[in-house]
Amino acid sequence: MPLPLQIRRAAIRFAYAGLRSYWFVVRPHVVGVKCVVTDGDEVLLVRHTYGPRDWDLPGGTVKRRELPVDAARREMQEELGRRIEDWVGFGELHVNMNHHHNNTHLFHARVADRELDLDLTELAAGGWFHRDALPPDLARFVRPILARLTRP
């Protein structure tokens, strides 16, 4: 029997706090992915249940011996309940944030339907927004990432 949602969310927030402490001490190099999922001029944004609650692009960490494109596929299956195979890479973003060095691989996929089955442990919400009418409370790198992506 799965744990209640509020307990799962508390556990992930606790784990994230531990991870931030680890980052503060070790200052590791992390490889991640950010995924831009679009339907025409609309882009999918998510709100996490941990860390800042700003609207962000879905993504995650690349596991050891995992290709970044495979991480994009895995993360979207886990977070969005979507199997998306046709990812196109469009660069990398190198940033220092939260006491770690992050090399983020950027991927884009177009979808024809907006069906989502959000992992409510990790995501509080998901929504589609027109690229010219994004919400004001965006995560730090959403606009710079979207600026790198050419419009359809």
Q: Which domains does the chain have, with CATH numbers?
A: 5-148 (3.90.79.10)
pLDDT per residue as tens digits for the range 97-152: 766 678 899 999 999 889 899 988 889 999 999 999 999 999 989 999 999 987 55
CA distance 17 to 59: 19
For the segment 81-92, what is each residue's pLDDT rounded down to a tens digit? 999 999 999 999
pLDDT-based confidence at residue 39 (cuts at 50, 70, 90) = very high
CA-CA distance, 72 to 74, in Å (whole number)?
6
| Residue 16 confidence (pLDDT) above 90 | no
CA-to-CA dists, residue 10 to 75, 77, 113, angstroms: 20, 22, 32
Whole-model pTM: value is 0.84
Residue 4's pLDDT is what? 86
